Structure 1
Amino acid sequence: MGGKLFNLPRMPRGEYLAIEAEVRRYLDVKLPGQYRIPRYYGDKPDFGDMDVVVASRPDWGEVRAEIARDLGVTQTKAVGHVFSTVCRGLQTDFFPVPERYLDIAYSFMCFNDVGNFIGRICRRFDLKYGERGLAYVYRREGGNYRADLEVTRDFERICGFLGLDHGAWQAGFASLPAVFDWVIASPYFSVAPYLDDGDSPLRERAGVRSTVARFIEYLSARGIDKRPPSGTGGRTCP
């Protein structure tokens, strides 16, 4: 959630890694195989929060209270389905999702805003990418009905469809520019939503998401001007 809910300072990398290791040790026992902590690029210097994706369950309300107690949490807030805590001075957000979406939600949340960048590419095909995977956005003629029809929750297939190197994603990224280059490498990536419309919701998002702002700066500074035509050329998910 960006780490701003409790107005805490960003945490240096070394301190963050120690807390993450502690949380992992605890959750490996408390929720074995039922949680994921999204990855981050290799030289990330500090952290505003830690996200933990967990498989939802009927007794999640009781379990989250036990987690807060066992980890010595000092503050908590529930915002929608997200359970936010302060653990050792670090905002730690728990995102419960149905178990079948655990891995794709994790993939979506890895490496800062990469999931949102991928989602922006998907829009050109009337597709939606998010914490529940890839879906086709069906709209009835006249616009009075819409439904998201699930296509796949397999992130490797999604990468294959978009021309993104899944192996590179698995290996991880050393830096934020490496993350940006990976996204830009998709043959369907376009700079249009980032550079053309100064009043777009994406520009507004850049005001609160530093990674989006840095991506826009990266595109401008390097003179990247990719604008592929719409459509997939009849391609389907591999």
Structure 2
Amino acid sequence: MGGNAFSTLDTPRLSHEQWELLRVRCIKILLEFYEQVVCPPEAPEKVDHGDVDLLVEAPKHPIEPDTLQNALGAVSRTKVGVTMSFAVPLPETQESFAQIDVHICGEGNLQWELWMASYGDLVQILGHQNRGIGLTMNDKGLNVRVPEVEITNRKQAMILLTKEPIKVMQFLGLDAEHWQRGFATLEDLFFWCSAGRFYNKPKSSDAAPEQTTNDRARLKKRPMFANYFYEWIPAHPEAWQNDERVQRDVVLQEAIKSFGVRTQYEAIMTTWRQEVNANDALISIKESLPITGSALGLVLKGIKRWVTFKDGQPQMRPLGEPEEDITKLPDWLPRITSEELGQLNEWLQKNWPELKSREKHRSEARRELGQGVAGSMATLSLLPTDQL
């Protein structure tokens, strides 16, 4: 969505009157094909438009792109992902065109995608304010991030809370009825964005966003986003619920309680604790061994492949048993206790040479097997075809 899909056609910016006429006409046409068709409300005070954005969900019957193109009266179309763009002639002339973007939403996703696309940069502004308190809005919904886990695995740290916009606004302490009514001015919208119960007054007059790559891109490409942080915030220090930043743990616990996700939280924390325990155990094991370099690497592989626990005691797996997958941690390592780790380190002082030897012999055997297979294939390639 953005108005640049047809480089060979003249697609001038649309006046608000042109945009409104096209919006109404296209919604009426698309309702013949889809159960739901909506147009995200534009930012207030916008005087012209690059295109007409429409969201659709639930086709009434199978739809061919040619059928949609003909129904809209478009002379050309293109597609990127799930968004189709159509070049529709402007009523005043057949030489200029309006870009109509039709974004196809997955089942049950239209309201969330409408929220994400409404009122210009509104969600971008909220997203920046949510970042510091551990909240993230993405294509799946509103998520809370578990801080301990986020340090090493941001994706694993996410707990999905909801994809219902009303519930998001209620949780953030934002006026949902006001959002549904719309905003008359940017000033009105900016006050609304700053009114959330978790948001705090900036520490200084310089309220610009943190300079991440995404922030820099937004500041260059999104004047509404830049206006809010560079101009409006410094001029309105009174427009905040809190003088100090609300702690992330407060927001996390509120989210867990409000959305009933304690089970998911506990599961993530259990996995994280086990990973930390396993990493700490591996560090202890490395430090306890009197070897370094390639020898240490062989022994660590051997521990994963050949060591098991029985009745709390480390043991060597019999050679005839199926091998463990050493690309994964052994089952016992994430749950190893400090007592068991001490016993393992003591056991390794006597048994690390055997682990090294097993791994070395295994590696040599596999190498010889590979060479043997390669040699057999080379021999076969030299035989006459009637002997194959």
Q: TM-score range by the shorter chain?
A: 0.7 to 0.9
Unaligned stretches of 5+ residues in structure 1: none
Aligned-pair distance for 1:84?
Answer: 2.0
Mean alpha-carbon deviation: is it higher for 96-105 or for 12-21? 96-105
Number of matched residues?
Answer: 236
**Counterpart Cα distance in 2 of 1:142 and 1:105:** 29
Q: Which has the larger radius of gyration?
A: 2
**Counterpart Cα distance in 2 of 1:207 and 1:42:** 20
**Counterpart Cα distance in 1 of 2:213 and 2:237:** 19
> Do residues 179 (structure 1) and 189 (structure 2) align?
yes
Aligned amino acid, residue 19 of structure 1: L
* 1:14-33 equivalent positions in 2, closer than 5 A: 14-32=17-35
**Counterpart Cα distance in 2 of 1:21 and 1:4:** 22
Higher normalized strand content (fraction of residues): 1
- Alignment partner, residue 95 of structure 1: 103
* 1:41-190 equivalent positions in 2, closer than 5 A: 41-55=43-57, 62-88=63-89, 89-137=97-145, 140=149, 143-144=152-153, 146-147=155-156, 148-189=158-199
- Alignment partner, residue 38 of structure 2: 36
Unaligned stretches of 5+ residues in structure 2: 90-96, 260-388
Partner of 1:65: helix, strand, or coil?
Answer: helix
- Alignment partner, residue 6 of structure 1: 6
Mean alpha-carbon deviation: is it higher for 185-194 or for 108-117? 185-194
Post-superposition Cα deviations, 1:13-57, rounded to whole Å, max 9, x if no partner, equal: 00111101100111222213x222111245432111221112266
Partner of 1:129: helix, strand, or coil?
Answer: strand
**Counterpart Cα distance in 1 of 2:132 and 2:211:** 19
**Counterpart Cα distance in 2 of 1:173 and 1:36:** 18
**Counterpart Cα distance in 2 of 1:110 and 1:185:** 18
Post-superposition Cα deviations, 1:61-93, rounded to whole Å, max 9, x if no partner, equal: x44332122111123222233222222322222
Contact conserved, 2:43 with 2:121, CA < 8 A, in 1? no
Post-superposition Cα deviations, 1:143-192, rounded to whole Å, max 9, x if no partner, equal: 25724442112211111111111111011111222212210122333558
Contact conserved, 1:140 with 1:146, CA < 8 A, in 2? no
Aligned amino acid, residue 80 of structure 1: G
TM-score with structure 1 length normalisation?
A: 0.83
Partner of 1:195: helix, strand, or coil?
Answer: coil
In structure 2, relative to structure 1, the CA distance for the partners of 1:75 and 1:175 (3 Å cut) is: farther
TM-score with structure 2 length normalisation?
A: 0.53
Aligned amino acid, residue 226 of structure 2: A
Aligned amino acid, residue 100 of structure 2: T
Aligned-pair distance for 1:112?
Answer: 0.8
In structure 2, relative to structure 1, the CA distance for the partners of 1:197 and 1:21 (3 Å cut) is: same
Partner of 2:217: helix, strand, or coil?
Answer: helix
Aligned amino acid, residue 230 of structure 1: Q
> Do residues 201 (structure 1) and 209 (structure 2) align?
no
State the structure with bigger RCO (CA 8 A, min sep 6), 1 or 2: 1
**Counterpart Cα distance in 2 of 1:159 and 1:83:** 30
Mean alpha-carbon deviation: is it higher for 44-53 or for 198-207? 198-207
In structure 2, relative to structure 1, the CA distance for the partners of 1:132 and 1:165 (3 Å cut) is: same
**Counterpart Cα distance in 2 of 1:141 and 1:213:** 28
In structure 2, relative to structure 1, the CA distance for the partners of 1:196 and 1:183 (3 Å cut) is: closer
- Alignment partner, residue 210 of structure 1: 223
Aligned amino acid, residue 174 of structure 1: A
RMSD: 3.1
Partner of 1:235: helix, strand, or coil?
Answer: helix
